[in-house]
Amino acid sequence: MVLRLIVAVVICLTLGRPAANAAEPVRLIDGDTLEIGQTIYRIHAIDAPEAGQKCQRTATATWPCGDEAIDHLSRLIADRPVACTEREVDRYGRTIGDCHAGDVDLGAAMVADGFAWAYTQYSEDYLPEQRAAEAEGIGIWQHSTQTPWDFRADRWARATLEAPDGCPIKGNVSGNGQIYHTPWSPWYSRTKIDPSKGERWFCDEAEATAAGWRAPLR
Q: What are the chain's domains?
A: 9-145 (2.40.50.90), 149-210 (no CATH)
The pLDDT of residue 2 is 38
The pLDDT of residue 26 is 82
117-140 pLDDT, tens per residue?
999 999 999 999 999 999 999 999
The residues, ordered by sequence, that sit 6+ positions from 132 with a Cβ below 8 Å of its Cβ are 112
Q: Do the Cβ atoms of 107 and 98 come closer than 8 Å?
A: yes
Give burial (CB, 10 Å; 0-12/13-18/19+) of 206.
middle
The pLDDT of residue 218 is 72
Run of H or E including 82: strand 81-89
Distance between CA atoms of 168 and 203, rounded to whole angstroms?
6
The pLDDT of residue 6 is 38
Show the low-confidence residues of the chain (pLDDT under 70): 1-23
